[in-house]
Structure 1
Amino acid sequence: MAELARGLAAGGPMAPVAAAGGTADGGLGTSAERILAAAREVDRGAGVALLADLGSSVLTVKSLLAEGELPPGARLVDAPFLEGAVAAVVAASAGAPLPAVESAAGEAYEYRKA
């Protein structure tokens, strides 16, 4: 997903993107350590938009936010995972502030394919 979002947003300056899916041993699942590392990797001081796919990743991000372990200004974005990620990367790469990035990602719920 991260690679696809980067590819679709290409053409100018690129906002940092990091994937955090899977477990430390490469399996399916969620790793708080991987989420923390990815958030810290992309943090530039303007906040970090976190997009989660399914249950355990959402719960893990919520827990990390509640415990104050993520960078300041980090947000769990309520958006479709793939479409929201692409919209977020495009908006962030265009220089949008975090609230606008979050809004762009959330608007992906409205995308219609027919």
Structure 2
Amino acid sequence: MMDALDPTQEPTLAELLERYAMLRDTMLGLEAEKEALGVQIKAALQTGEQAETDLYRASLKISRRVEYPVERFREVFGDAAALEVATIDRKKAEALAQAGDLDKDVLRSLSVVKETQALVLQPKTR
């Protein structure tokens, strides 16, 4: 573990990884607890209950996302406009290939892979 009392000594890579893993695990646990609490609070608010503390009052905020039905958009604005604004949902395309509606090999040949780097911690024990 990093020695907080000796700021002149640089931590080793193993010490940095240990601290990173500890913080990640703590945050994951806190996030899971926060999500579970949020589900309970939302359910109570939806039944008309009210919740507040000295500092906060809970309320539900409704978010709206505008979508345009593809077929109707295409009917009104045409194929070219529909194609111009369309995006391909990877999961739906793969599901169609799995179902046999699309050729899997052709779909695979169309794919473009974009790489990003992310630090992943793998548990040593399973």
**Which TM-score band (shorter chain)?**
under 0.3
Higher CA-based Rg? 2
Q: Which TM-score applies when normalising by structure 1? A: 0.22
Query: Greater RCO between the two (CA within 8 Å, min separation 6)?
Result: 1
